[in-house]
Amino acid sequence: MRDRLYKLNQYFHVSDVTQNLAHGHPSHNKLAHILSFTEQISLNLKSQYHPHCETSIDEARIAFTGRLAFKQYVPMKQKKIGIKVWMLADPHNCYVNDFQVYTGKVPNQPEQGIGERVVKDLTRDIWG
């Protein structure tokens, strides 16, 4: 029974991954298996609530100890091992308007300006 559950989890996908490029390619999407699911959640978050003129962007950590290429270990945090997620939230009621999962840096490329990129990506829909 346990082995059957592991096999089902191994092949469970909510997106079509046939168009995803191979591992190691710069355009490979590490979230391809759940991409349509996360996009739908993001669209629902944006459609349900319009934020105040003041918004906050911060990182959150989802506790996760399983096998995953982009999980992070930060010994000084309460949740030491997990997935980093950038969130755009309303500071008045803590409603999350948008999010972005950090999947790590692209191999063989220096990571520069990540804070600026995250802020621009998450605030693109509320500019002006």
From the list 4, 39, 30, the residue with the least C-alpha distance to 103 is 30
121 compared with 1, residue with greater pLDDT? 121
32 compared with 91, residue with greater pLDDT? 91
109 pLDDT exceeds 80? no
Helix, strand, coil abundance in the chain, percent, nearest 5: 30, 20, 50
Alpha carbon distance 102, 86 (integer Å)? 7
107 pLDDT exceeds 70? no
From the list 63, 31, 47, the residue with the least C-alpha distance to 97 is 47
Say if residues 88 and 77 touch (Cβ distance below 8 Å): no
15 compared with 99, residue with greater pLDDT? 99
Tens-digit pLDDT profile for residues 21-34: 777 776 778 888 78
